[in-house]
Amino acid sequence: MKDNTKVKSENKSNLKLFEAFAGYGGASYGLQRAKIPYETVGYSEIDKFAIEFYENNLPGILNFGDITKINPHDIPDFDLFTGGFPCQPFSQAGHKRGFKDSHKSERGNLFFNIVEILEAKKPKAFFLENVRGIVNHDGGNTFKVIRNKLEDEMGYSFHYEVIKASDYGLPQLRPRAFMIGFRDEGILSGFAFPPHL
């Protein structure tokens, strides 16, 4: 396993990030663009091309690999969990099997691996992303399970919005459901999604 000490900062106030389903490192890129001081303590990704790209652009960060095989207690403490968990079980293009999807490591249930990590590490905040279809999947029951688990059982606040990339000046629709929550709502009082351009 790689040593991620190269990316650690002496600044103790840096936001500590764990990226699940990291892809090419979109969460890191967003924090860089927003000029937020941060430190990535690790990430989870299994696609070999995404890993190669991630390591070329963000060298020295430990990949914990398959999220279904991670012992959450092996992850260093962090403040922010991000993850765009697999969308195929909830999308128009998929079979809409949701939590019953059994393709590739039961991808429909990977949300519950997120829950295990959140329960063990208790970060200050999470940022999750999926297709807009997740909001109404199975008559809204899937989203209700997600919200109840995070808000009622785990004590996070829960904010969500379906946002189109075109609302922010990009040349595509790409509507996605964004879910954001805080363990202590006071750390970001009056949170609201940014207004459309």
* Structure tokens, 58: 């963000």
At residue 141, the 3 state secondary structure works out as helix
**87 noted as active-site residue:** yes
Q: Out of 31, 75, 80, 87, which one is annotated catalytic? A: 87
Question: Residues 165, 173: contact at Cβ < 8 Å?
Answer: yes
Return the bridge partners of 181, or none: 126
Whole-number Å distance between alpha carbons of 60 and 40: 10
Distances (CA, A) of 75 to 86, 128, 149: 21, 19, 22
Whose structure tokens read 């924090």? 31
Whole-number Å distance between alpha carbons of 53 and 55: 6
What residues are labeled active site?
A: 87
